Amino acid sequence: MRLLLTNDDGVLAPGMAVLARSVARWIEEAPHGEERRALIVAPDRNYSGMSSAVGDVFERPTVKYRRHVITGAESIPTYGLEAPPALCAILGALGSFDFQPDVIVSGINAGANVGRSVLHSGTIGAVLTGAQLGLSGLAVSVQWGEDVHYDTAAAVAIEVLDELFRAPSRTLLNLNVPNVTMGELLGVKRGRISMAGLIKAAGPMAGGEALSDEGEMPLRLGAATPQLGDVSDEDADEDGALLVAGYASLTPLRGPHEDDDPALSELMHKAIDAITRQIEKAH
């Protein structure tokens, strides 16, 4: 069992430290004869909201890195890279550091990743990227608050690992945990991705004022923020609503793939025919 850890908050973020210590204990408690290894390859600073971006690797085809030591997880090789989460996932998955992993765990993110924020999250972008290279993955996030219970999220995440290693390759899960103690957690349920958005509105809020030639556009954040906003319009089994109700939400994800819906066949034929006619006219 070879595990790659990453995140989007930075290699020295508190969520990474808690997760790393939990994984170190998981390694120590391995049954006799079962090999467990872990490796941390994470950004050297906060890259939140980067999704699966890797940056302009053509302009700068090198990546700076530095080795770190996380207290309580000294046995886990730890590298901080001057790179976004997805690029960290690629380099880790390719075996650039120490060994080639089978599973990637990203987090623990400081703030929930629910609703449409799954599209923008660097935490989730890392596991989606790992899947393109054959890894199964788990994205782990905890609801933001004054005192964040990373330990609860770590405890829940560790329980998923064995099943993830046994699952088919490229199995992806998004785990969101409410900001409560383990004793206060009501349970875990399969959560559907809600329609909650990260950005609810932008620009002038009222009055119909025209935009000037230059300025700053204010953003109004929606329910899918780290603290979680109003989720009263969500169904009870949607991810944000589950967190507010005190449950952890576990959601299977699928990375980019060809849309093979038969209903698109006619559209594809028409598009290909139209392009073909233009190519023939050019000859």
Do the domain assignments include residue 114? yes
User: What is the residue whose two structure tokens read 């002038």?
Assistant: 204
- The rounded Cα 167 to chain-centroid distance in angstroms is 19
| Per-residue pLDDT, 84 | 96
Amino acid identity for residue 155 in this structure:
A
Instruction: Give the count of domains, the chain.
Output: 1
Do the domain assignments include residue 141? yes
List, in sequence order, every residue forming a beta bridge with 202; answer none if it has no partner: 219
Can you give the residue range of the structural domain that contains 92?
A: 2-192+233-253
Instruction: Give SS3 for 98.
Output: coil
| Per-residue pLDDT, 65 | 96
Do the domain assignments include residue 136? yes
| Per-residue pLDDT, 215 | 76
The pLDDT tens digits along the chain (283 residues) read 999 999 999 999 999 999 999 999 999 999 999 999 999 999 999 999 888 999 888 888 999 999 999 999 999 999 999 999 999 999 999 999 989 999 999 999 999 999 888 999 999 999 999 999 999 999 999 998 889 999 999 999 999 999 999 999 999 999 999 999 999 999 999 999 987 756 665 565 545 567 677 877 776 665 555 556 667 678 899 998 999 899 999 999 998 888 888 889 999 999 999 999 999 999 8
Q: Are 80 and 63 in contact (CB under 8 A)?
A: no
Phi, psi of 8 (to 5 degrees): -120, 0
Q: Are 53 and 125 in contact (CB under 8 A)?
A: yes
User: What is the residue whose two structure tokens read 């699966």?
Assistant: 52
Residue (of 240, 279, 246, 262) closest to 113 by Cα position = 240
Q: What span, in angstroms and rounded, lies between the C-alpha atoms of 226 and 207?
A: 30
Do the domain assignments include residue 127? yes
Do the domain assignments include residue 216? no
CATH of the domain at 10: 3.40.1210.10
* Token duo for residue 12: 């020295």
Do the domain assignments include residue 249? yes
